[in-house]
Structure formats: structure tokens, C-alpha cells
Structure 1
């Protein structure tokens, strides 16, 4: 085939799903069989489950950002930017590059794996004053911010300022919130020993969630075990509670409590990327409604997977069940979608996706963890071994595995360091500054843009 007739496969998103799809396409397709293009603002795959350990300084940012260009066999073309709209009729994806240039990328087959963004609510002051825990930049920024609060509290003689700088609030009792609170509390507990002017009892961490249970997917016993670990460390866990409003120096809970704080970390769930809304297609709780083969019904050559797709969970008895937005599903879906794209190219039948959940692991830092691999409930060191073993095995390259193992070993032997890197030296940044959710087009804007570009051509 020549360049003109070669099918164009466009993959949107470099998360677990998108990268696994691209890698499989590269391995299984002959070089002259199709052109593969990947749209992503960053040329790395982020191992998201370990972000709390980056925020707490156990791991360096580079160790969980796996370069997409390390492989010598890598032949995928990367467009450095984000997809902000898709015109299914014209088979065009509208991309905003990292230099803010708008380009139209035509495709024959599109794989939509744009992932998810932090779920927010209409709470006064939330997006202006809260931090998220969804990107590498946020994790690095939060680490600087937390250490700076200790520095500023140590330098201040104002009791009110000290109180607000030494209290920290994390919203979200899922895995991300629980691990974030646990890991950062461990960091401040170790750091305060280097601040002789700070009374350790003034440092308070709050973990709140509107749900009645902490990490309900882990089951009652392991949920209680996690609660006990957090309580032992002095973390105040409040369930059935959320945020009523947020300000620059205090947060008001829905139960009426007002907590002086300069640190509000919001991890109360995720929603599908706003890109999905630009398609004008059917959704299930905001996720694109696809079939078990992960294709969009009624559309030619459109595949969707990962956090942004409502993929039927055939491993469960409930016919309405959809796969949860977890890394293990995304990775397996990526490989499966690649096989289905190749099957489509070669005129072969597609196969449905099915995967039984392997279990859940929660790393609470140090020797504390709760895990449920293959339904087996573990606590303490065995759970920590299972959690870190699972994450280590899931890292895609040997270089990443060596970096992470080295970081873990150094932290265990030498302890934490408390260096601020200067990410927040110039100006404050909050939730609204990291995920760029206002960059997407409406379906009408996408269509108008594509039609305008067609007329110019």
C-alpha cells in the first residue's frame, strides 16, 4: 500500500488504555498496513495509582512518567496536544496543540481513550481554592505546597495563621483520597521533627466523604482496618460529610464545622473527559455507550474504552453492569481494542471484552496497607507486599521498574527529604488551572469548525 491508500488509525489519549492499544498495534500491524497517530499533550504514560507517593516524595515524578519514545521500534506519530472535539460524520478530530494551534486530524478508524477528569460540584469556592490529584504536575505542586505550609508556619508568630497552615483537608474516601491523606500525613509527621518551633499536635489531617463507608469496594472488614490505621496516625475521618463552601483560609463542612486551612485536596471521584460530550452520542452516566466489542453502535470505525466508555462488564451477572474505571480494565481493554481494530482492517470478526476483576490494593505508606487480591483479604506487611508488587509488575518498562524499586529502597533506608522544588514559586495554582476542562468545543462548534476548514480547502 502507498501513503495515500494506507488506513489512518487515530488513538486519542496516552493513558493505560491508549498506550496499550498503540503498543499492540505496533507489534501486530505490518509497517505498510496502516498509519498510527496518537494525540496526547505529553509524550509519556503516567502510572496514575502511584501519584500519592509522588506527592509525598516517596517516588520522583520521572519514575512514574514512562516515556513513549524509549522503544527503538516506536513508529507512531505523536501530535502534542489534546483532542477538543470529534466530528463523527466527517471523520475528523479537532486538536488543540500545546502551542494553542487548532488542527484537524482526519482518520479512518478512531480509538477514543481520553480518560477522565476530576468530578466537581457546584460548591462555592471549590475550583478556585481546591487542589486535585489527577496529573503529575498537581502531585508535584501539592508536595511543594504542603512543605511550604510547614515553612511558613514555622516562620510565623501569628497563632491564627499557624492554625490554618497546619490543618489539611482531603475530600474523597476512595482509593485516591485515602492514599493521598495517608501518604501526606506520613510526610508531615516525619517533617515536623525538623521544625522545632512547631508543636506536632497542631498538625491535623481531615479525610471526609459523603459516603457512609470508607472504600466500600474493599469490604467492611478492610474498610474498618483502614479506618483504624488512619485513626492511629491521628487522621480525623468524617463520613456522611462533604464541603459546603471553600475559601482561601478556611473550609466549611456540611455538618457546620469550619476548619481553618490553606490546603483543600479534592479527590471525590472522576467523570469522563469532556471530549465525549462533543460527539453528540448516547452516554451512560457521562461515559460513551459502547457494545461489548467496544465499538460505537451505528458508527463506522469508532472504538472507545477506558474511563470514558461504558464498556459492558460481562464478568458480572448484572446485564447492566459496566466496567469500573480502573487501570487493570483499561490496560486489558487497550490490547483488546487493538485486536478488534486489526480484525476490522483484515475483515475478520470482532470479539467481546471480558475480564474478571483481580482485586484491589491500597498502599497507606510505610508498612501500612490493605489489599484484596483475588478476594483474599490482607493487612499490614503482606498487604503492602501485594500492593507494591502489583504496581511494580504493572509498570510498562524495565527502566520504570528499576527507578520505582530504587526510590522505594532509598526511602525505606534514608527516610523522607523535605526539599521544595519551586513549582509554586511564582503564583498559586488550583484545580481549575491543571485540567483545562474549558478548552473543549460543543458539538455545534465542532461541526462549524470542520465545515469552515473544508470550505477553505
Structure 2
């Protein structure tokens, strides 16, 4: 008898956690497990600001899937369409070949992409902070701005190269601004021709408060830390226009700058829009058990799914966080096991562990289990949480040694020349134009069926 085929789409927190648990709970004879992912690593997103600042090496936050998963078939590529009726997934492999994979059960965890708006110049000149390549690129770009500012004799050019704008007052934006500001402040001492007072970091957000999820008091503490370190935080403000060497704010200010880092939220993977299923603010509508209604054998979770938040009720859905994604992955794995063994499924229900925000150095704010902390205690909690969440001992060792070396020896200011000849844009890293229409998906599946 042929084993049921479980296909997991996405190698992020939700997908990897689901596959790991399936490996532990199912005997090899019970199911065939496959994972579709463009990269053979799980990216630990919360530490990308540390990569951008050079505190951690890129390898430290790229957890090898071949160390994590032992009998899951890893398919290098990306899902670009799903035919739910025929139970087939269309995949573009890393060799650019389009193939069709049959499944009995599909777990959709394609994650999210950077959310953008129709702002002139944004897609052309902004950089994101969603992928490992973007973090590595931003580090090179920021250091190159210091090099170029030191080399130029043009005062206007120097000014534009030494002003940096981060858009988004959530965790990603706040930590990115904090960590990179710390890097440039330390680096400025190595540039005799640069006046450190000319280096300015701007953090802006349309919201009235910084990181409102932290609560008012901790949010204000984080705001005070940033302003004390020289970061200019503007709330209730967004970007009106972006140029090659300037950024115009919605309050009318024109900031000379060649660096705009965009972290203003995320949107569900474009794969979701190809399914023709019900969505909630762009995320796939699912039941509390994370099943997709009217699509047999299909589950969805993580950033791409609007999973009901039963702890809050009143129609609330879970926010797109790593904490939720990991727990949802475990619950979906349990529900798949229950489905295969004709047992009842269980809804996703969680208890919030709290929030951690690492602002670099000894600065941090945290709220573990509702307890508000800042300074070194908060830093200890934040880094302890990250180490706990990393899935291999090799990754834990790399991160710990990198943190220790940085604390003892300080920062390095070496750029690798990554994409040095051509400025990179948001679209260069997230491959948002790869997806098929519903009709194209049906054409691929019909072609496969015709071949028998």
C-alpha cells in the first residue's frame, strides 16, 4: 500500500517545526514527508539586525535543514501554484525547472514578503530586512557609505551618505536602527576625516507609539534609549517620496539620504492569492485547527494564514510572529497525525510567552510572562530566548561565540563588496514575480495528467 504523501511548503519557523514533529511522531511506514524550500536552511529572522550590524555572521542565523531534518525529502525550490482539486503543487526548482508534485496532505507555510505601498521611488531605492541576503547587503551598503563619505570632497554628497532612514517602528525596524546606529557610531572613530556628529539615524513610523505591543511604559523606555543614543525618532510620519539621494517625509521634511531601510510590515506570500480561497486581510482564512475550508487535505499556518486567536477571541487572529509560527507548526503536525490515525483534531490555543527587543550592547527591553524588564536583565532574557529558539547546538554555539567575541573585541568594519557595482532594490531579494495564475496552474496539472 502506498504511503500518504505530506507536502510542506516553506522552510520557515512553521514549516520546519511541522516537519520535525512529523518525523518524531510518525513511523517511516506511515507517511512520506517532503519539504519545498528555496534554501537548505531555516532563517532565524529575529537576529537579522545583528547580522546587518556584523555582530553575528550570516551562517550563525542560517540553521542547516539537513542537520535539523533526517528523513524529510527537501525539494530545493519554491511553490508557485496549487491545484487543490487535483491535489498537485507546481514547483519552480532552483535550476528554474517547473515540476508538479502530487500530495495527499498539503501544509502551506509560504511565509510573508515585505509589505510596500505606492510611494514614488520606494521599490527602486528602498532596501528590505526580510532575507539573509538583504541583511548582508545592508551591512556592506552602510559601511560603504562611510567609506564614500570619507573619500568625497563634496559637502552635499557627504551629508547624504551619512544620513540613514529606517521606516517601521515595530521590532524589526527598531532593532535594525538601534544595531546599525551602534555600528556606525563605533566605526566613525576609525575614520579621521569624518565628524561623528554628521552621522544621523532617523526612525519613522506612521503609528503614534513605538512598538505598541510592548505596552506604554516599555515602549517609552525603548524610545528614550534610542533618543539618548542619537536616533531621531519621528512618530505619526511616513515616507512621501524616495529619490536617489533624498527621502521626503509626509510632514514635508526633505532628508538628504542614500539609505532607506523599509521594515513597515509584511504581507502574505503571493502564493496565497493564486488559490482562489477566502482571505482575511490577504492571509488565508483557516479554522482553529488550521484547515483550509473547502480544500480537502490542506492546512495553512504561519504568516500566510489568519489563524483564529482563541486566547483573545472576538474574531482576533494570531499576529505573524515566530513564536506563533513555531507553535502552530507543532499543532498542525499533531492534527496530521490525528487525521492519519482517525483521531479528533485539536484547535490551536496558546499562552503568550512575552516579547523581547534587543537594542544592541547592553540595551534591551523585555516582557517575559508579563514582567517588564530593561537593561542587562532584559538583555539576558532576550538572548536566552533566542538561544532557546535556535534548533541546533551548532547554531547555538555559533551565536554564543559571535556575541562573546563582539563583546570582547568590538565591531569590525569590513565590507565584502556584495553587489557593489549595482544598487539592490526590494524586488531583487524576494522573487515576488514568480507565481502562476490559476489557469497556468491548471495547465501544468492537466499536462501531467495527460502524460499519465
- Fold match by TM threshold 0.5: yes
**Which residue among 228, 231, 255 is the counterpart of 1:235?**
231
Residue of structure 2 equivalent to 1:336: 331
Residue of structure 2 equivalent to 1:117: 113
Residue of structure 1 equivalent to 2:412: 417
Deviations 1:366-405 (A, max 9, x none): 0001111111111111111111111111111111111111
Structure 2: how far apart are the matches of 1:101 and 1:427? 27
**Which residue among 41, 45, 51 is the counterpart of 1:44?**
41
Whether 2:437 is the aligned partner of 1:427: answer: no
Structure 2: how far apart are the matches of 1:261 and 1:84? 36
Residue of structure 2 equivalent to 1:446: 441
**Which residue among 377, 391, 398 is the counterpart of 2:393?**
398
Shift of 1:422: 1.9
Structure 2: how far apart are the matches of 1:406 and 1:450? 49
**Which residue among 315, 321, 328 is the counterpart of 1:326?**
321
Query: SS at 1:128's partner residue?
Result: helix
Structure 2: how far apart are the matches of 1:453 and 1:427? 40
TM-score using structure 2 length: 0.98
CA contact 1:277–1:443 (8 Å) conserved in 2: no
Residue of structure 1 equivalent to 2:291: 295
Query: SS at 1:194's partner residue?
Result: coil
Matches within 5 A, 1:1-400: 1=1, 5-71=2-68, 74-316=70-312, 318-400=313-395
Deviations 1:285-336 (A, max 9, x none): 11110001110112211011101111111111x3301111111111111111
**Structure 1 stretches of at least 4 aligned residues deviating more than 3 Å after TM superposition:** none
Deviations 1:79-122 (A, max 9, x none): 11111111111111111111211111110100000111100001
Structure 2: how far apart are the matches of 1:248 and 1:444? 39
* Runs of at least 5 residues in structure 2 that lack an aligned partner in the other structure: none
CA contact 1:191–1:418 (8 Å) conserved in 2: yes
Structure 1: how far apart are the matches of 2:392 and 2:451? 44
Query: SS at 1:110's partner residue?
Result: strand
Query: SS at 2:67's partner residue?
Result: coil
* Runs of at least 5 residues in structure 1 that lack an aligned partner in the other structure: none
Count of aligned pairs? 452
CA contact 1:312–1:320 (8 Å) conserved in 2: yes
Query: SS at 2:339's partner residue?
Result: helix
CA contact 1:92–1:106 (8 Å) conserved in 2: yes
